[in-house]
C-alpha cells in the first residue's frame, strides 16, 4: 500500500496523557501549545474535558457549515488543477465532491465523508498519532489522535523520514495562500496510508 502526503481537516482531535506527570495538563495548556507549535487556530474548535487530563477538540459546527464549501471551492482547483475532462473530472473528481456537498444537507456531510465514495472528500482513519510536549516546567507529553476529513492525497508514495519540517512549512504556506478562509487554519498536513 504505502504512505501518502495528505491534507486533512481535523474534525476531532483527541488528547490523552502519555505518562503520570500529565495530570497537570489542562485543556488550556493543550490549546496554547497547539496554537504555538502546530499553528492551529484553536478558536475554530470547541474543547471538552473528559477527565484525568483527557480532552477532545471538535471543529465548531458553524465553522464547518459556513466555511468548508467556500474553502473547498478555492482549494480544490489550486491543489488539483482544473479538470481536464468534464466527463471524468480528471484528475480527482473534486467537482463531484463539491456538487454533492452543495446538494446534501449540512447534517449529512460527515455521513457522505464516511461513505468514502469520493477520493477528494472522505473520512481518513489512517492519520498518524502525534506527540505534543507542553511547555511547562515538567515538560509533560500528550498524545494527539485525529479524525480528519481527507481533502487531498498525493499522487505518489512518500518516504516518511524527515517530513515534519516540510509539513510545518506547508501548513504555513497553506495559511498564506488561503487567508480569506478561516477554516484553513484548522487544516492538518500529514502522512496517511
Render pLDDT for 65-75 as a digit per residue (tens, 0 to 9). 999 999 999 99
Q: Is the pTM of this model over 0.75?
A: yes
Domain chopping of the chain, boundaries: 1-193
Q: What percent of the chain has pLDDT over 70?
A: 85
pLDDT, mean of residues 161-185? 82
**What are the Cα distances from residue 185, in Å, to 10, 40, 128, 175?**
11, 6, 19, 6
Q: For 182, how many CA atoms within 13 A lie in the half-sphere containing its CB? A: 13
* pLDDT, tens digit, 9 for 90 and up, residues 83-136: 665 555 544 578 889 999 999 999 999 999 999 988 889 999 888 888 988 887
Would you say residue 59 has pLDDT above 80? yes
pLDDT of 6 higher than 60: yes
pLDDT of residue 84: 60
Provide the pLDDT confidence category of residue 53 given band limits of 50, 70 and 90: low
Phi, psi of 54 (to 5 degrees): -95, 130
CA 97 to chain centre: 17
Cα 124 from chain centre: 10
60 vs 92, higher pLDDT: 60
Mean pLDDT value across the chain = 84
> C-alpha 165: how far from its chain's center?
17
Amino acid at each position: 500500500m504505502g504512505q501518502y502526503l495528505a491534507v486533512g481537516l481535523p474534525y476531532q482531535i483527541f488528547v490523552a496523557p502519555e505518562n503520570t506527570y500529565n495530570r497537570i495538563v489542562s485543556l488550556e495548556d493543550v490549546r496554547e501549545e497547539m496554537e504555538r507549535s502546530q499553528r492551529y487556530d484553536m478558536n475554530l474548535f470547541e474543547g471538552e474535558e473528559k477527565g484525568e487530563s483527557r480532552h477532545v477538540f471538535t471543529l465548531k459546527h458553524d465553522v464547518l457549515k459556513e466555511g468548508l464549501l467556500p474553502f473547498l471551492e478555492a482549494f480544490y482547483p489550486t491543489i488539483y488543477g482544473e479538470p481536464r475532462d468534464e466527463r471524468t473530472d480528471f484528475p480527482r473528481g473534486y467537482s463531484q465532491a463539491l456538487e454533492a456537498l452543495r446538494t446534501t444537507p449540512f447534517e449529512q456531510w460527515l455521513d457522505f465523508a464516511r461513505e468514502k465514495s469520493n477520493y477528494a472528500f472522505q473520512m481518513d482513519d489512517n492519520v498518524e498519532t502525534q506527540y505534543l510536549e507542553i511547555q511547562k516546567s515538567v515538560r509533560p507529553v500528550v498524545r494527539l489522535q485525529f479524525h480528519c476529513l481527507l481533502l487531498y492525497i498525493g499522487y505518489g508514495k512518500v518516504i516518511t523520514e524527515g517530513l515534519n519540517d516540510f509539513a510545518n512549512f506547508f501548513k504555513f504556506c497553506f495559511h498564506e495562500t488561503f487567508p480569506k478562509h478561516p477554516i484553513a487554519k484548522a487544516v492538518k498536513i500529514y502522512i496517511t496510508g
